[in-house]
Amino acid sequence: MTLDAFSGQRDALTNLLGRGQFLFVVSQRMKDASRSAMIVVNLDRFRLVNAHLSFADGDAILRSTALRIARRIPETAVASRLSADEYAVALFDDDVEQVDAVAEQLRAAIAEPHAMGGMDVIVTASVGVAEGAKGASADELLRRADEAMRLAKQFGSNQVRRDRDLVAKRDGLPPLLVETMLRQALQNGELEIHYQPKIHTRSMQVVGAEALCRWTHPELGHIPPQAFIPVAESSDLILPIDEYVLRSVCQQGASWMKQGYRVRISVNISGRQFMQDGFPKLVRACLAQTGMDPQLIELEITERTAMCDVERAVHVLQELRKIGVRIALDDFGVGYSSLNYLIQFPVHTLKIDRTFTAGIQSAVNQTPIIGAIISLAKSLNLSVVAEGVETFQQFDFLRENRCDEIQGFLFGAPVPPTSFQLSAFVAKLQPRAPQPTAPEEPTAEPTWLERLYLDTKRLPDWRQIASHLADSIAPHVPLDRLSIEWCEEGDPFVDVCEVSLRDEIPARPVGTLVPKGSSAAPTIIRAGVAMISPDVLERPEFDEDDGLAADGIRSVLRAPLTHLGKPFGILTVQSALERVYSDSDRRTLKEVAERVEDVVWSSYQRERAPYDGLYDARTRMFHRAFLAEWLTADDPVWFLSRTKRRPYQAWTHATASVLRIEPLAEWPPSESERVAQHVGQLWSAYGSPAWPAVRMEAGEFLLISLDGEDGSFYTFLEHLRMHLRVMEMRNTRLGSPYVSISMGWGECRDAWPNLWNAYLQARTQALSALRGSDRQGGPTDGEAR
């Protein structure tokens, strides 16, 4: 019996497998699997939804929850609706390795708000996880995962628990036994340090990490921090644990520094350790012994610790600042929160406790408190970090209210140092894997989105596409102006195509090029999510926002565009009204971007094709045909801007510099092309990026500057001369016949219409130089003659 046989026996509401069918399919799969895992998800206090809203709203939440689960599990996993508000997921073979990450992603995704009748309804979930080796039964695995889920509810709901956490719970391990086991763990190296990334809310880059202690017992498995940290703090064990964590972090940070990565790492310090007489000396010793940069270490102490003995705390903090480390005040707001004392503490950062973050847009509204904390920190010139960020709504609120950094499962769970993403150092949202067997979520108006895609496919170029998108999106998402922005890797400018629906808000000219450093596009592309700028006039977030505000724009919504998984630009809608965009608008624009991004990419490639065909990829220079096209173009400025992908102003004069290398034309293509590629590499490194460079013949290169002199040509020439000599020496040692390389160059400046004549004169100079005994010819001023 196959999975398809159950197509008519699925749950009618969610289209997932029912309990009986699920267990049958999982049992069959487990026979061939080397190992399996089960995740049980139970919605917290779901009965309140039916009681206070309606059964229809409850059904809608159940369907949405099923879709969120289906989209975030591996393709080979099996999902089920076990009962009214309970779901299950089974994973097999290699997918079992990521069961913890999948469970956490499910918990965070389910906690995202549901739009119900003009308000956001948040329903959290308790999640249980169990693993089984080959030969285990599906019923037993489900029972253990269900027990773990119930344990999660006992510990406060909205969390993930494993079945191995039940060992300590069932056996009722006394604190004394935990303390004994913990002493052995320190001796046996069972404690590990995991790192959770910190994300800058503006740039979306990973700017640091928090070090967190994790304990994996050889028999009991993972023991959560809340099970052993209180025991350690009540004994003397917290002191060696603190020292172990601090020393390990310094060693890891120093190791990353040697690899070229400067990662700022936060370390939690207990109150007992902080009050030790030799604590500053311990910090100084760890830094000195490992070679870690003090500026990359941030020590986190709780507000309660600092308030126990204010005078002593101030003294210790001053000593630590002299060492060079940063200081963060953790859990701010849950204790005394005295402004008078806060002014005395020489700290750099305030951390907003996760209890406040969890209260954003929930029944217990904590947003006024968070806003007050951020305003207080800004008035004292302190940075602000919020922890426990798990939903887009929390992220939006914190970003809008100028919180500097965030951390939480929305952007990454704590991971071992080997899994910490160093190379990219870019924030990434948790992956959302599709589930082919799951029902597709109906969009707000699927017909108009499908029609939009079909109509867009028929349009020939991306300017017409931009105009059509603006007209089609406007009835569904408020906008006065729309732009498609192409941001290709390696290009210093962003290519903008913009249309306006209002005469008083003009669109930027076709072909506008914006420096990458001023554009929002790189940030949106790195983040991979749609972002709202609620008011670019009052709170500009990017350099380009000032220009948008000058045009009359107040709100901006931006969504990334990708092709085959690789980002290439953004789709932007703009409005003259402030704070006009909602999370629903963000989802709509993201879906529009996903539907039309391949069409946009193809149209831009067609638009670029005539210009890209003039480029020689080997030498990174233009073909000879470029010069003919440029000299005969109706608008030479426009033509050069499109081919070079950078803005140019009108010019009156041009300088032609001709470089000839002989006898490349007589060498075999493999040898001559190798020399030409070196020329292109050196030109890319030492030449001016604004200069058009043209390969006229096998060994002849034309370099053109416009209205002005640029010394970079002579720098390039010196490096090329040295490089050719090195090549001669290498070929000589290899016994190669291609050892005689001669170089000559000429230069001529003239009015722009006479560029071709200037080229011929410079070429004559280069040939004359080659016929002489010197390898370098002299410059000729055509204008002077």
Residue 372, pLDDT > 70, answer yes
Closest CA to 403 of 435, 443, 376, 425: 376
Which pLDDT score, from 0 to 100, does residue 170 have? 40
Residue bearing tokens 């906008």? 479
Of 193-207, 522-536, 604-618, 640-654, where does the model show the most confidence?
A: 522-536
Tell me the backbone φ, ψ of residue 762, rounded to 5 degrees.
-65, -35
Only one residue has tokens 């191995």, namely 164
More confident residue, 538 or 421: 538
Q: What is the pLDDT of residue 165?
A: 58
pLDDT band at 219 (very low <50, low <70, confident <90, very high): low
CATH classification for the domain delimited by 446-606, as one of 3.30.450.40, 3.40.190.10, 2.60.40.10, 3.40.50.300: 3.30.450.40
Find out whether 593 and 614 touch, Cβ atoms under 8 Å.
no
The SS3 call for residue 285 is helix
pLDDT attached to residue 340: 62
Predicted confidence at residue 659, as pLDDT, reads 87
Compute the distance between CA of residue 368 and CA of residue 61 in angstroms, rounded to an integer: 28
Across 88-102, 381-395, 410-424, 640-654, least confident range: 410-424
For residues 69 and 432, the answer to whether their CB atoms sit within 8 Å is no
- State the pLDDT confidence band at 784, using cuts at 50, 70 and 90: very low
Are 411 and 211 spatial neighbours (Cβ–Cβ below 8 Å)? Answer: no
- Report the pLDDT value the prediction gives residue 86, as an integer from 0 to 100: 93
Q: Tell me how far apart the alpha carbons of residues 373 and 359 are, in angstroms, rounded to a whole number.
A: 14
Copy the structure tokens of residue 565: 């998984």
- Give yes or no for residue 776 having a pLDDT over 60: no
- Give the model's pLDDT for residue 320: 93
Contacts for 163-170 with beta carbons within 8 Å, 24 or more apart? 163/128, 163/129, 163/130, 163/131, 164/220, 164/221, 164/222, 165/222, 165/223, 165/224, 165/227, 167/220, 167/221, 168/220, 168/223, 168/227
d(CA 716, CA 707): 20
730 confidence band (pLDDT: 50, 70, 90): confident
Reduce the DSSP state of residue 655 to 3 states and report it. strand
CATH topology for 3-170?
Alpha-Beta Plaits (3.30.70)
- The β-bridge relationship of strands 405-407 and 383-387 is parallel
- By the 8 A CB rule, do 203 and 405 touch? no
Domain ranges of the chain: 3-170, 194-211+238-419, 446-606, 615-771
Q: How many CB atoms lie within 10 A of CB 192?
A: 13
How do strand 206-217 and strand 264-268 relate by DSSP bridges? parallel
pLDDT at 156 over 80: no
DSSP run (H or E) holding 265: strand 264-268
Name, of 242-256, 395-409, 435-449, 635-649, the range with top average pLDDT: 242-256
Residue 465 has pLDDT above 50, yes or no: yes
Among candidate residues 188, 196, 102, 99, the one with its CA nearest the CA of residue 416:
196
Domains 3-170 and 615-771 share a fold: yes
Of the listed ranges 13-27, 58-72, 358-372, the least confidently predicted one is 358-372
Of residues 424 and 235, more confidently modeled: 235
Distance (Å) of CA 149 to CA 38, 88, 125, 233, 650: 11, 11, 9, 28, 69
Mean pLDDT calculated for residue range 251-256? 92
What pLDDT was estimated at residue 308? Answer: 75
Q: Can you count the helices (H) and strands (E) in the chain?
A: 27, 28
Inter-CA distances, 444 with 63, 109, 441, 584, 587, Å: 15, 20, 9, 9, 10
Task: Say how far apart CA 750 and CA 612 lie, in whole Å.
Answer: 28
Q: Name the token pair of 583.
A: 């999370």
Q: Say whether pLDDT at 736 is over 80.
A: no
Higher pLDDT among residues 778 and 116, named by residue? 116
What's the CA gap between 110 and 69, in Å, rounded? 8
pLDDT, position 6: 44
Split at pLDDT 50, 70, 90, the class of 425 is very low
Q: Range with the lowest mean pLDDT among 148-162, 495-509, 580-594, 726-740?
A: 726-740
The answer on pLDDT for 445 being more than 80 is: no
- CATH number for region 194-211+238-419: 3.20.20.450
How many CA atoms within 13 Å lie on the side-chain side of 145? 29
What is the reported pLDDT for 20?
86
Terminal Cα distance for the chain, rounded: 92
599 within 8 A of 457, measured Cβ to Cβ = yes
pLDDT above 90 (res 66):
yes
> What's the sign of the alpha-carbon dihedral 112, 115, 116, 118?
positive
Residue 507 has pLDDT above 80, yes or no: yes
Looking at every residue in the chain, the average pLDDT score rounds to: 82
Kindly give the residue spans of alpha helices, DSSP state H, lying in 334-487. Answer: 339-344, 354-358, 367-379, 392-400, 446-457, 462-473
- Beta-strand pair 206-217/191-200: antiparallel
For range 717-734, the mean pLDDT: 77
**Domain over 615-771 is classified CATH 3.30.70.270:** yes
Split at pLDDT 50, 70, 90, the class of 589 is very high
Task: Give the helix ranges, DSSP H, for 44-193.
Answer: 47-52, 55-71, 99-110, 138-154, 165-171, 175-188
Is the four-CA dihedral 252, 257, 261, 262 of positive or negative sign?
Answer: positive
Predicted confidence (pLDDT) at residue 493 exceeds the cutoff of 80? yes
Residue 717 has what pLDDT?
79
Contact 762, 756 (CB under 8 A): no
Bridge partners (DSSP) of residue 486 are: 495, 569
Residue 26's CB: how many other CB atoms inside 10 A? Answer: 25
Characterize the bridge pairing of strands 78-83 and 86-92: antiparallel
Most confident by average pLDDT, 209-213, 257-261, 299-303, 380-384: 209-213
Model confidence pLDDT, tens digit, residues 678-720: 787 787 777 777 788 888 887 888 888 887 655 667 777 788 8
- Least-confidence region, from 315-319, 459-463, 569-573: 459-463
pLDDT at 365: 61
Query: pTM (2 decimals)?
Result: 0.46
Residue with tokens 């699997």: 33
The pLDDT of residue 558 is: 95
Q: What is the pLDDT of residues 15-54, one digit of tens each?
A: 899 888 899 899 999 988 888 999 999 998 887 777 777 7
Mean pLDDT, rounded, for 558-568: 88
Residue percentage of the chain with pLDDT more than 70: 88
Closest CA to 144 of 114, 165, 113, 120: 165
At residue 222, the pLDDT reads: 74
Tell me the sheet residues that pair with 211: 195, 267
CA distance 784 to 494: 39
**Which long-range contacts does 706-715 make (Cβ < 8 Å, 24+ apart)?**
706/648, 706/651, 706/653, 706/654, 706/655, 706/752, 707/651, 707/652, 707/653, 707/654, 709/655, 712/686, 712/687, 712/688, 713/657, 713/687, 713/688, 715/686
Q: What is the pLDDT of residue 176?
A: 75
Residue type, position 697, single letter:
E
Segment 64-68 mean pLDDT: 93
Of 71-75, 448-452, 624-628, 683-687, the range with the lowest mean pLDDT is 683-687
Whether 484 has a pLDDT exceeding 90, the answer reads yes
| pLDDT (tens digit per residue) in 296-350 | 999 999 877 887 778 888 899 999 999 999 999 887 765 545 566 677 788 899 9
Phi-psi region of 157 (alpha: psi -120 to 50; beta: other; left: phi over 0): left
Quote the pLDDT of residue 288: 94
Question: Average pLDDT in the 460-471 region?
Answer: 84
* pLDDT for res 431: 38
| Across 440-467, average pLDDT | 71
Q: Which long-range contacts (CB under 8 A, 24 or more apart) does 705-714 make?
A: 705/654, 705/655, 705/657, 706/648, 706/651, 706/653, 706/654, 706/655, 706/752, 707/651, 707/652, 707/653, 707/654, 709/655, 712/686, 712/687, 712/688, 713/657, 713/687, 713/688
pLDDT value for 426: 37
Q: Among candidates 516, 567, 417, which has minimal Cα distance to 203? A: 516
